[in-house]
A = this chain, B = another copy of it.
Amino acid sequence: MAKFLSIRDAVADNLKHGDSVAFEGFTHLIPHAAAHEVIRQGFKDLTVMRMTPDIIYDQLIGMGMVKKMIFSFAGNPGVGLLRRVRDAVENQWPHALEVEEHSHAAMANAYEAGAAGLPCAVFRGYLGAELAKVNANIKSIIGPFTGEQLAAVPALRPDVTFIHAQKADRKGNVLIEGILGVQKEAVLAAKRAVITVEEVVDDLDTHTNACILPHWTIAAICVVPGGAHPSYASGYYDRDNVNYIEWDAIAADREKFLAWMDEHVLKATPEIFAERVRHLRASA
A213 at the interface (CB under 8 A from B): no
Which chain B residues border A150 with CB–CB below 8 Å? 118-119
Q: A207-B206, A208-B177, A209-B209 are in contact. Are A143 and B123 (CB under 8 A)?
A: no
Residue A117, interface by CB 8 Å: yes
Give chain A interface residues in 237-266, CB to chain B under 8 Å: none
Binary per-residue interface labels of chain A (114-125) against chain B in the complex, 1 for a CB within 8 Å, 0 otherwise: 001111101110
Chain B residue nearest to A116 in the complex (CB): B123
**Which of the residues B120, B139, B144 comes within 8 Å of A140, measured between beta carbons?**
B144
Given contacts A122-B122, A124-B118, contact A178 B209 (CB under 8 A): yes
Task: Check if A146 is an interface residue, CB within 8 A of chain B.
Answer: yes
Instruction: Report the bound CA distance from A190 to B141 in whole Å.
Output: 25
Whether a CB of chain B sits under 8 angstroms from the CB of A70 is no
Interface size on A (CB < 8 Å)?
A: 30
A90 at the binding interface (Cβ < 8 Å) = no
Q: How far is the CA of A278 from the CA of B123 in the complex (A)?
A: 47
A 5-27 contacts with B by CB, 8 A = none
In the complex with contacts A207-B207, A208-B177, A209-B177, A120-B146 CB distance below 8 A = yes
Q: Is A154 an interface residue (CB 8 A)?
A: yes
Proximity bits, A211-244, B CB within 8 Å = 1, else 0: 1000000000000000000000000000000000
Interface status of A127 (Cβ within 8 A of chain B)? no
Quick check: B141 and A141 within 8 Å, CB to CB? yes
A210 at the interface (CB under 8 A from B): yes
Tell me the nearest residue of chain B to A148, going by C-beta. Answer: B119
Looking at the assembled complex, report how far the CB atom of A233 sits from the nearest CB atom of chain B, in whole angstroms: 14
Chain B residues lying within 8 Å of A180, measured Cβ to Cβ, are 209
Can you list 22 A-B contacts (CB < 8 A)?
A: A116-B123, A117-B124, A118-B123, A119-B143, A119-B145, A119-B146, A137-B145, A139-B144, A141-B142, A141-B144, A143-B152, A144-B152, A145-B152, A177-B207, A177-B208, A178-B208, A178-B209, A180-B209, A206-B207, A207-B207, A209-B209, A209-B210
